[in-house]
Structure 1
Amino acid sequence: MNRSAGVLYRVYVTVLLLAVLTGPALYTVVVSLSSPPLVTLVGHEQFPSLVVACTGLLLVAALAVGRTRGPVPLSPFKIHLIAGGPQPRRVSLRSPFRSTLLLLLLVAAVLGAVPPAALVRAEVAGATTLVGGVLAGATVGILVAVAWLAGQALTPRTTTWAAALCLLITGGLALWWPGPLDLAGWGLLTAAALCLLVVVPPLRDRLSGPALLEQAHRWHTATTAGGAGDLAAAAATYRTRPRRPRPAGAVGDTTLLPVLFLRRDLIGALRTPIRSLVAGAALCLAILMGALSTTLPDQMALFVVGTSSLMGYMALGVWSDGFRHAVEAIAAPTLYGLSDHQLLSLHALLPVAVVLTVGTTAGLLAVLLGGQPLMAALTLGSALFCVVVRMFDAAKGPMPLILLTPAPTPMGDASAIPVALWQADALLLAALVPTTIGTAVLTLGSGIPLLAYIPATAAVLLAFRHRV
């Protein structure tokens, strides 16, 4: 009886959160999508192909996240008690995975209903389209849950092959997709995804006890550091660790220092192939989103520009690890025969090269799809600016204790505000500067505001020198 009451209470809290918090936000999104340009985009016959392509990226991300935090989240004590018991893990770990699966199904179904709801509100489609959207979202939720569990259960090499297979299958489906499906088609697709759940019990049996324990300890360490306000330490806990030794080719001999550092940083990034694959896909998607944002209303376009810039900043992490080495070398005696500025410049070659290569390709693709070259230049400039912000963030040391000083105000203690600003300074720079410049570009219809990236970059470099 107590267990039933606990389940009913969780259902009650979930419905209450959806109704009070998520409901108004989703309604705002539906109203925004009901504008004529967005209705045309959502109702286009190739829109399902775009959804399929995004699903492939979601599956790759789920496989990658499963390596560090899987859908079977247990505390270290429960892992010893449940996973280490006499029952097979397909039985003992069934309840935790079932809870995660139901949550993913609910979230995906709600999100899948948003675009069809906009079409229904605009009187372009009927209720069957809304049901089809719910079924499509549920299908994506099932696939993401299975991929997430596979990332937790499979070996790193198998996970890499699974990610490549997901991209190959979803890419082929996106090119072949016949267009909008009827209700029976979405039902068959959901039934096929449900049949895929037969692989879940064998995957649960493959879950390794030491791997589960390691994930639990890392989660405990990250939550402890995050609760103390040290978000940098919490994020460092989940930084991907290479599973293979550094190859001998990384320490090569050449007279061209730029080639040497570019090769070393590239080999270091490719030692975590899933992270590199996800980062490259996210950077490409960020450039595409920003370059195609002119098809949206101005407010929504600026939101997309800020979001794409944040995605680009996050994607550059795998290519910018050399900055941490350079910052550590600044505080130590000179061992490399290079000045501090030379070392930083050499480590900046890889992220700049990646941005120029991926960004130029994605920008040209966006122009071919109907985007404006001016917005493609804006998003490319924001990605290059994020490289400098990455350098600035690498020099962040421990949080100054003075920020924890109480700040009494009539509204209460405001000491959390400077702590939050200090923790999120790089994210704020990566989002606000491109959004501000994008506002000027959309207002003036000219590329002159793009020159504002020059003083913004200089200001961030000056702040970086102050930190080191």
Structure 2
Amino acid sequence: MTMAVRRREGAYRVYLAVAVGLIAVAPVVRMLFLALLEPASVGWLTSPDFLEQLRVLVAAVGPVGMLVGTVRGPALRTPFATVTLGSNHLPRKLTLRGPFLKSLIAAAAVSAAVVCLPGAALVVGLGAPPLSVVACAVAAVAVASLGVVSALLGQVLVGPRVWACAVLLGVWGASPFGPGQWFAAAWAGLVGDASVGITGPVLLVAAAVAVLAGVPGLLDRLRGDALLLQAARRESASVAIATGELAGAAAMYRERPTTGRRLSAVVGGPRVLGMLVRDAVGAMRTPQRTVLGALGLAVGAVLLGLATVPSGAPELPGAVTTTGAIAGIAAVASVLMYLALGSFADGFRHAADAAVGAAVFGTPVGEQFLLHAVFPVALVVLVVGALVAISGGGPLPILVGLALVAVRAFDAARGHLPPLLLTPMPSEVGDLSVVARLAWQFDGVLLSVALGLGLALPWLAGAPALSVATLVVATSLLALATAARLRQGRG
């Protein structure tokens, strides 16, 4: 009976995956495929700039995977299974082999699919050899294997050794003898001479086989306390997602304070200076999160600058010279900057918690939000301003960053899911309550896209005054909306 139930559950999961793929995924894939067949897209995929972007992207797989493995590794079971299997005589290379293989297969499948889509577009639009697409897909699978093993290594290591290994992996990945150069060679074989690209996949497969051979030893070195901590985080995050609390799920994976415990966060003087020091010390106590946030802020600013500088447009790949592509890149850059600013928005969350709790601080809630805004605003001015000064671009990325600080303050005052959104909303196309809940959960992302486009498009059209006016109006409205959310939370 149990085997029959399992077979039925497996068949239903296959049916569900096929149905979702045909209804939701297939139209998106078709749209992307048709977009990649455009001459501008084909020119971008075959340009030297794209090869360099591929090299940098693949070089970052190793260090990023290692840092991700410190909070959520590939060899992970449920807390109950972790305690049960961790307390018996079986080695971890046997008890944790299953979840690691699932992670490896999932990463390999996604990587191969991502590479095959533009590869198929080049076969149809440029007449590239299909075998070269297969070689690039094999190379992508090898890169995914390197990333998953790097995540496993990050799951094993602790402390500064993780950062040291991540830096070494980044240097190796970006070197002429690293995965970045090898994958770029494989892609060059796809868009040029097929004989040129055979070396890259061969070297990547050899490197993947070499690192996969060390997986059993790494699995045996996993510590029980680290496994249980990650398993508990994953289960708590799953419960938060199931109840519609995505912010709570993200909080489960927030870095715990590790350094700077002896740094004093309380100083005298003006309140502005005191709050700035407190927020800065808090950021220093989570160095990994702070560094990644600053890097995300910088990358988003660079993307936004490249997409909205008219003088640089002819030098960019053809895919970013159209209005639609520019708007897409500006939207992605805005979302990236919004996510990066989350590393510096702990002050807003603290002020929001203080607003709904007992009044134990002498500073009004509105003033607390304004004081906590000084630190992220200073980060935007310093990080983004330095990039703008070095590149000689316009101040648009700074304006977008300042607007996104207001979005972060609005997001911090979110509170719990309103019960009204749990009631059904029947319509001709189905229950719209799901759409309403998704809009409520991702309102920060949607506002980031809207503000990014609302500031970037007028600037690109030669109306910077309209962008500045949009910034002033948007931040004022967000301040009023934040105050309304706080009042609703107190009520």
Q: CA offset at residue 16 of structure 1?
A: 7.4
Conserved? CA contact 1:119–1:125, under 8 Å: yes
In structure 2, which of residues 477, 480, 485 is the aligned counterpart of residue 462 of structure 1?
A: 480
CA distance in 2, matches of 1:82, 1:12: 32
- Give CA deviations for 1:199-247 in whole Å, capped at 9, x if unaligned: 3112211222222222222222222222222223222222222234x53
Q: CA offset at residue 363 of structure 1?
A: 4.4
Please, which runs of 5 or more residues in structure 1 have no aligned partner?
none
CA distance in 1, matches of 2:21, 2:321: 27
C-alpha spacing 1:440/1:124, structure 2 compared with 1 (3 Å): farther
Match of 2:296 in 1: 282
1:59 and 2:62 equivalent? yes
- Give CA deviations for 1:267-289 in whole Å, capped at 9, x if unaligned: 31232222222222222222222
Give the alignment of 1:19-418 within 5 angstroms.
Answer: 21-123=24-126, 125-173=128-176, 177=181, 180=188, 182-186=196-200, 187-244=202-259, 246-251=260-265, 253-255=267-269, 257-293=271-307, 295-330=320-355, 338-363=363-388, 373=393, 377-418=395-436
CA distance in 1, matches of 2:20, 2:441: 27
Conserved? CA contact 1:115–1:133, under 8 Å: no
Match of 2:193 in 1: none
Q: CA offset at residue 335 of structure 1?
A: 6.1
Q: CA offset at residue 21 of structure 1?
A: 4.8
CA RMSD of aligned residues (A): 3.3
Q: CA offset at residue 460 of structure 1?
A: 0.4
Moved more, 100-109 or 302-311: 302-311
**Matched AA of 2:294:** G
Query: What TM-score does the superposition give when structure 1 sets the normalisation length?
Result: 0.86
Q: CA offset at residue 31 of structure 1?
A: 2.8
Conserved? CA contact 1:221–1:234, under 8 Å: yes
Please, which runs of 5 or more residues in structure 2 have no aligned partner?
190-195, 308-312, 314-319, 487-491
- Give CA deviations for 1:68-126 in whole Å, capped at 9, x if unaligned: 22212312232233333311111221122112111111111121233433333331743
CA distance in 2, matches of 1:217, 1:223: 10
CA distance in 1, matches of 2:9, 2:262: 55
CA distance in 2, matches of 1:281, 1:56: 16
CA distance in 1, matches of 2:41, 2:15: 34
CA distance in 2, matches of 1:396, 1:302: 28
CA distance in 2, matches of 1:77, 1:175: 38
CA distance in 1, matches of 2:106, 2:118: 20
C-alpha spacing 1:315/1:60, structure 2 compared with 1 (3 Å): farther
CA distance in 1, matches of 2:425, 2:198: 60
Conserved? CA contact 2:59–2:180, under 8 Å: no
CA distance in 2, matches of 1:20, 1:415: 20
- Give CA deviations for 1:156-207 in whole Å, capped at 9, x if unaligned: 3322222222333334459995863623222222322321212311221122
Moved more, 9-18 or 34-43: 9-18
Moved more, 398-407 or 120-129: 120-129
**Matched AA of 1:199:** G
CA distance in 1, matches of 2:422, 2:28: 33
CA distance in 1, matches of 2:8, 2:152: 25
Q: CA offset at residue 259 of structure 1?
A: 4.3
Q: CA offset at residue 380 of structure 1?
A: 3.4
**Matched AA of 1:232:** A
Q: CA offset at residue 455 of structure 1?
A: 0.5
CA distance in 1, matches of 2:421, 2:252: 23
Conserved? CA contact 1:265–1:350, under 8 Å: yes
Give the alignment of 1:421-460 within 5 angstroms.
Answer: 421-442=439-460, 444-451=461-468, 452-460=470-478
Q: CA offset at residue 458 of structure 1?
A: 0.9
CA distance in 1, matches of 2:27, 2:87: 44
**Matched AA of 1:262:** L
Query: What TM-score does the superposition give when structure 2 sets the normalisation length?
Result: 0.82
Conserved? CA contact 2:267–2:277, under 8 Å: no
